[in-house]
Structure 1
Amino acid sequence: MSDTRNPLFQPHSLGTLALPNRIVMPPMTRSRASQPGDVPNALMAEYYAQRAGAGLIISEGTWVSPLGKGYAWTPGIHSPAQVEGWRKVTSAVHAAGGRIFAQLWHVGRLSHVSLLGGQAPVSSSAIRANGVNVFVAEHDGTPGFVQASQPRALTVEEIHGIVDEFRQAARNAMAAGFDGVELHAANGYLVNQFIDSGANGRTDAYGGSLDNRLRFLREVAQALIEGTGSKDRVGIRLAPLTTLNGCVDADPETTYTAAAKWLGEIGVGYIHIAEADWDDAPHMPVAFKQRLRQVYPGTLIYAGKYTADRAQAALDEGWADLIAFGRPFVANPDLPERLRTGATLTPHDRDTLFGGGARGLTDYPRLTAKAA
């Protein structure tokens, strides 16, 4: 039953998809896919099903093609085995009463030759993400972090090929039973490497002017609409002010307002804004958020160290429709109920975030278990 006193627990319509509350579980890399083949598995299905109380779950990033992979043990949605693995996940979530979108991911330059069969990563430009590490598996199978490799610039023909890969990934996601897809266009990954001026040194139709730098985003978004068969089933994740993974834009408010305006014109189901959330991160002014609301009429999701009180204020002020809670969902599978009752949140174990088994993934207690 919805709580009429707090908008966080009121229902929301995302196109034809009815969400029972405004709480979103955002994409979080956990690196638990089965090897070989980076296949989603029963452990992942249990993990997501435990969190089906969210109004909407967005899966961890799932790469659309082998060259789009950037971290060890992350799942893909490219092979038949991967699609079948994801079908187990979506079936478990739906059986638990939840709704789940697949986040589609191409990391671009944020990869390493060891993850790509010896090939160099690709990007908008041959600009290395200096000082940025990616998660790899050593020869003996132990995890570790290494500097991202030097990328090469994509040709125009290759860009068109990646757009096709996103279209097929959207088709694969729907075949796997997802309720929709989210494009990862944030946090320094491939789409972001085209958008942000500091990462895009191209001089052709995909670089230079703002319109050109947004071209790849537009083409991929259209491909996802075609692949899912519905505008309502497509979301876009953007990160206007983050400098994560080396992507910086000279005029982010102008750039991302233009992106949001165009996404509103084509009618995608939602925009998911990832706010910078580290200790000394740049602040995203409310005026900027209100400007995005003015140009984009669809559902707006915000993520970035939100508490229940901050979430309620954002919804009350009207510039957000849904609020995503990242780290709290790691250790609190029943997070919506904890937020509703004001219960204490369990802290997550940083050492079990990436790789491993059930420990730190599916063994966190629910409120009922703790009470018992």
Structure 2
Amino acid sequence: MTESALFEPMDLGGLALPNRVVMAPMTRLRAEPDGTPTPEMAQFYAQRADAGLLITEGTWPASTGQSEWRVPGLETARHVSGWRAVTDAVHVEGGRIVAQLMHGGRKGHPGARFDGSVPAGASAVADPEWVHLPEGGKAPSPVPSVLSQADIARIVTEHADAARNAIAAGFDGVELHGANSYLTHQFLADNTNLRADEYGGQIAGRMRLALELIESLADAVGADRVGIRLAPGNPQFGMVEADPGPLYRQLVAELDRYGLAYLHLTDNDSYCALEDLRPLWSGRLIANVGENREATCRRTAERVLDAGLADAVSFGRGFLRNPDLVSRLRDDLPWNPMDEARLYTPGPAGYVDYPRYERAAVS
């Protein structure tokens, strides 16, 4: 196949990317019980280092934000040391990697948190999803407690501290997870933010936390090392945003003032976020077009780039099962089958044991 924009280099927040194929953040539940990354995690990310950029699985900035058992953290010296092994392995392979900071908010369960804490969110609205438990099986999500303004201030500080820890661990930057039902999204969405204080109500209140978090991250590590992921109108995990456009247009316009490294934006069938918001964003934009749809392939990614809707495209499921996804995309090679049964099971199976493509020897 001929070369395309997908394999052209570009600059992103001071990083020189060799291509525009980004690995999306994907929960794998492979960390140690206390959230420390494992050697297998270093192997997993290093295997995929030929991506233009790697974005880690969501990582909690503090234990009270842990969404599930064996989700990694960036709070302690042990976490930093564990992540340093990951970033060193990626950099040895010539890759670039940023840490996604993901506070669960209402998501989680005391039995699936290292500190045993009860989840807290924007409002007392339970997540409809069940949570993986350490002993196996799942339990329903509890009704969360409501975060006070003092709690919110603490969370903002915890994110800044986690960003500093990320840089100390060798990451090239951080991404704030403002999508897919996690804490920042819970403050943005209609049904999870029922607050009557300055963090709720109209648009300015609902987007206040997102802006405070971004400002704290930019102050902590520099705006050019910070990205944010948004998924306007994403209905996953019981989220409701009946009319995302007005809020996200104002939010993106505000975010644009910070000079961030990038905006990572997920499109939605009921709201064409890329078309609506791209004109409001002057920086680099990474598009995700596979959420709640068929897995992104070369052709769908190229259509987004050719239309000028993004500068790069993130792939999720493709990277799960293909450590050499960039080569497979470039040469139009078949993909490995997915080991669905081992997506979230500890150990190497279904994680680091996917093979690279082997070409038949020519006699």
Q: TM-score range by the shorter chain?
A: over 0.9
Q: What's the counterpart of residue 279 of structure 1?
A: none
The CA deviation at 1:243 is 1.0
Matches within 5 A, 1:1-372: 5-35=3-33, 37-116=34-113, 117-129=115-127, 131-138=128-135, 143-228=136-221, 230-276=222-268, 282-285=269-272, 288-303=273-288, 304=290, 305-368=295-358, 371=360
The CA deviation at 1:118 is 4.1
Question: Residue 311 of structure 1 aligns to which amino acid in structure 2?
Answer: A
Superposed CA deviations along residues 261-313 of structure 1, whole A, max 9, x for unmatched, are: 1111112111111335xxxxx3443xx42221110111111121321011111
Question: Residue 205 of structure 1 aligns to which amino acid in structure 2?
Answer: E
The CA deviation at 1:253 is 1.3
Structure 2 stretches lacking a partner, 5+ long: none
* TM-score (ref. length: structure 2): 0.95
Contact 1:53–1:98 (8 Å) recurs in 2: yes
CA distance, structure 2, for counterparts of residue 134 and residue 103 of structure 1: 20
Question: Residue 360 of structure 1 aligns to which amino acid in structure 2?
Answer: G
CA distance, structure 1, for counterparts of residue 13 and residue 67 of structure 2: 32
Contact 1:70–1:135 (8 Å) recurs in 2: no
The CA deviation at 1:145 is 2.2
Question: Residue 169 of structure 1 aligns to which amino acid in structure 2?
Answer: A
Q: Give the match's secondary structure for 1:28.
A: coil
CA distance, structure 1, for counterparts of residue 73 and residue 8 of structure 2: 34
Superposed CA deviations along residues 60-110 of structure 1, whole A, max 9, x for unmatched, are: 111010100011111111111011000000000000000000000100101
Structure 1 stretches lacking a partner, 5+ long: 277-281
Contact 1:70–1:111 (8 Å) recurs in 2: yes
CA distance, structure 1, for counterparts of residue 204 and residue 46 of structure 2: 41
Q: Give the match's secondary structure for 2:286.
A: strand
CA distance, structure 2, for counterparts of residue 247 and residue 58 of structure 1: 23
The CA deviation at 1:355 is 2.3
Superposed CA deviations along residues 140-164 of structure 1, whole A, max 9, x for unmatched, are: xxx3222111101111011000000
* TM-score (ref. length: structure 1): 0.92
Contact 1:57–1:99 (8 Å) recurs in 2: yes
CA distance, structure 2, for counterparts of residue 213 and residue 284 of structure 1: 19
The CA deviation at 1:4 is 7.8
The CA deviation at 1:371 is 4.1
The CA deviation at 1:317 is 0.6
Contact 2:61–2:159 (8 Å) recurs in 1: yes
Contact 1:73–1:355 (8 Å) recurs in 2: no
Q: Give the match's secondary structure for 2:56.
A: strand
Contact 2:3–2:330 (8 Å) recurs in 1: no
The CA deviation at 1:40 is 0.4
CA distance, structure 1, for counterparts of residue 9 and residue 27 of structure 2: 27
The CA deviation at 1:232 is 1.4
309 and 283 in structure 1: CA distance in 2 versus 1, 3 angstrom threshold: farther
266 and 200 in structure 1: CA distance in 2 versus 1, 3 angstrom threshold: same
Q: Give the match's secondary structure for 1:208.
A: coil
Contact 1:328–1:347 (8 Å) recurs in 2: no
CA distance, structure 1, for counterparts of residue 63 and residue 248 of structure 2: 29
Moved over 4 A (4+): none
Contact 1:122–1:154 (8 Å) recurs in 2: yes
CA distance, structure 2, for counterparts of residue 26 and residue 61 of structure 1: 10
Q: Aligned Cα RMSD in Å?
A: 1.5
Question: Residue 53 of structure 1 aligns to which amino acid in structure 2?
Answer: D
